[in-house]
């Protein structure tokens, strides 16, 4: 018989770190406990030995974009209005927050807005 246990799942708002990255340590995101308050956590190994299903955290990120011709048209439009297309002049003009691409990130994979991140917890028996 499997002893009475409690599963604790961290809310998504607590999974994100200050710099926007997501915690990688599954044990800090979800865990089993024999204690209803969750203060005393079971290790993954102990939970498996007791017969509790393993927990898998699954995350997906979705980004949306237009066809490249739309961006090229916007570049030409902004240039015709007197803005430098590779600058943040348009953002300044519209009072948008300025962004900076990290030198450690390939600009083709950089995003100025956070992606929609969806999480689900899956139990495996």
pLDDT in tens, the chain (125 residues): 889 999 988 776 666 655 556 555 656 678 899 999 999 999 989 999 999 998 877 767 777 888 889 999 999 999 999 999 888 999 999 999 887 766 666 655 555 554 454 445 455 54
Ranges of H-type helices in the chain: 12-15, 26-29, 44-49, 68-80, 89-93
pTM: 0.45
Domain presence at residue 1: no
pLDDT of res. 58: 72
pLDDT of res. 90: 92
Domain that holds residue 85: 6-124
Domain presence at residue 32: yes
Number of domains in the chain: 1
């Amino acid at each position: 018989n499997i002893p009475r246990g409690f599963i604790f799942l961290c809310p998504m708002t607590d999974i994100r770190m200050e710099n926007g990255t997501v915690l990688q340590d599954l044990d800090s995101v979800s865990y089993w406990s024999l204690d209803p308050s969750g203060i005393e956590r079971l290790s993954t190994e102990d939970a498996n030995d007791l017969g509790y299903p393993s927990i898998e955290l699954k995350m997906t990120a979705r980004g949306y974009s237009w066809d490249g011709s739309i961006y090229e048209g916007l570049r030409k439009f902004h240039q015709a209005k007197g803005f430098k297309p590779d600058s943040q002049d348009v953002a300044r003009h519209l009072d948008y927050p300025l962004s900076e691409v990290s030198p450690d990130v390939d600009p083709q994979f950089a995003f100025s807005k956070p992606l929609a991140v969806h999480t689900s917890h899956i139990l495996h028996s």
